[in-house]
Structure formats: structure tokens, C-alpha cells
Chain A
Amino acid sequence: EPEVTQTPSHQVTQMGQEVILRCVPISNHLYFYWYRQILGQKVEFLVSFYNNEISEKSEIFDDQFSVERPDGSNFTLKIRSTKLEDSAMYFCASSEFLAGSTDTQYFGPGTRLTVL
């Protein structure tokens, strides 16, 4: 069964460093998402992406964050200058475009980001 994959599974970085989290969505999916979950808290939406553009972003997704689909298979989340409070699990999700219907979002296993 197709699945969303994410790398790395765990990333440790120093405060102020740039990190790139990578995701490979399910191959025929066209909508991509990033969510995050701070330890012990709810899963929070960050951004959605379609047709090489951000379609929606939350207030969490400030100028330090960016997303990109650099090729036909990868979808990345970049944090330009990490802060301690960026420590969280980051989940990528993707969904298929169904004309006249809706999607179901499928999630990857997550990347645990630890900022020291």
C-alpha cells in the first residue's frame, strides 16, 4: 500500500541553524501539507501546498518557514533559523485530487526535530 515517507526520522540541530525536513508524498497525490505536534500538545496545521503554491498557511508558519517541491517526488519544509520552540514532531501529509469530491489526507511517520 502506498504511503507517505519522511526523512530523517530524528533531526537534532543547534538554535539558529537551518533545517530541511523531507517528505515523499504518495505518488499520485497533488495536495501536500505540513503539520506539527509539540510534545504533549495537539497536532497543528502549518501549511498546505498545491500546484507549486502555498494555498493556506497558519499563523505559526511565519517568515522562518518555507516549503518547496524541488522535483516530482519530494516536498520539503525549511526552517531558516531554528528556535528552541520549534522542537516538535513534524508530519507531512498528502491527498489526492478528486474532482467534485474531497480528499483524505494520509500522514507520514513524522520527523522529530530537537533544537538545542
Chain B
Amino acid sequence: DTAVSQTPKYLVTQMGNDKSIKCEQNLGHDTMYWYKQDSKKFLKIMFSYNNKELIINETVPNRFSPKSPDKAHLNLHINSLELGDSAVYFCASSQGLVARVGEQFFGPGTRLTVL
């Protein structure tokens, strides 16, 4: 069984469209994250939810809206897509708020291409 899964794996869309990426984890973790990885492999956190509550909200355009319907799911909705949104988006999860004793488990990524 896949621990952290994301759908879709690839997403190609036109500028101005609205799209969603879904993430599910079956590890029983209570904290989930969204990261953006650019073409140079630089990885930056966007959001984090703990028990469905938003706890990390980095400087991200408000076109990006995360939603956590339950502890096992964290979805990312993007409005009015722009060329600069093209990247690989990774979902991750961990048990607990503090990474000192744990680790984050990453999904396989969603490659978003905006044309």
C-alpha cells in the first residue's frame, strides 16, 4: 500500500484555469504538508495542517487554497493558474508537530505544467 499518494501525477493546463491536486496518507499521521519544488530542485514549504487545522501558511499567493476534510487528506486548489506555478508539488505527512523525533513521508509528487 502506498503511504502517501497524490493525484494526478501529471497535470497540464492552460493559464487562467483552476485546478486541484489531492493527497491522501494511510499512515495515521496527524500532520500534513504541501511543498513546491521548482525547476532547480529548490524545495519550499507552502502549507501545513495538524488535525485539520492550518498551522503553517508561508508567503503563498492567495490563489492557492489548501483544504483538509479529515486528518488523512489534504488537497490543494489553485485558482487562475499562472506560468510561474509550473513546478512539482509534493505532499508530505508526519506524526506530531515537532520533526525532532519523527520524519516526514513524501508523496511521489504532481508535476504541474501551465501553458
Partners in one complex: no
A→B interface (CB under 8 Å)? none
